[in-house]
């Protein structure tokens, strides 16, 4: 299983916004330069995060992106689903339905992984943050 680079960037951008100042807008160019990503590509990721209600954009000279209220409750799963969608990672090719034993095992594992990611919030990460971003 592998998440896209967009998900990796989204998780790092969200952590950067937590570390910066949650209420202070950060420009897309600054974010792109900081993370070594093109601003065009990053804009697409930021748009998904805006649509998911995690961040907001402010226009103007001092504009940019900032976390929305209640950012502390945003989980890793929220961010991953904003970028990747919420479709199951596994899809039984044989259409056996819920009685497929293989599908049962894989979906059970996926549920456990999602539960773990759901319990990892930005506020918990912010408390642990003592590393250089």
So what's the pLDDT on residue 130? 59
What is the secondary structure of 30-94 as a DSSP string?
Answer: HHHHHHT--HHHHHHHHHHHHHTTSEEEE-STT-EEEEPTTGGG-BHHHHHHHHH-S--S---TT
Write out pLDDT tens, residues 27-63: 999 999 999 999 999 999 999 999 999 999 988 878 8
pLDDT at 13 over 70: yes
User: Which CATH entry fits the domain spanning 5-86+121-128: 3.40.630.30, 1.10.3720.10, 1.10.10.10, 3.30.230.10?
Assistant: 1.10.10.10
Look up the pTM and report it: 0.87
């Amino acid at each position: 299983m592998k998440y896209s680079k967009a998900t990796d960037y989204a998780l790092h951008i969200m952590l950067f916004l937590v570390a910066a100042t949650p209420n202070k807008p950060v420009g897309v160019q600054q974010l792109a330069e900081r993370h070594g990503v093109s601003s065009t590509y990053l804009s697409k990721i930021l748009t998904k995060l805006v649509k998911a209600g995690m961040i907001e954009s402010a226009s103007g000279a001092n504009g940019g992106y900032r976390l929305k209220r209640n950012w502390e409750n945003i989980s890793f799963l929220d961010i991953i689903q904003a970028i990747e969608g919420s479709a199951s990672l596994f899809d039984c090719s044989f259409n056996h339905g819920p009685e497929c034993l293989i599908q049962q095992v894989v979906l059970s594992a996926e549920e456990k992984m999602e539960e773990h990611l759901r319990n990892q919030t930005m506020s918990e990460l912010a408390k642990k943050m003592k590393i250089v971003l």
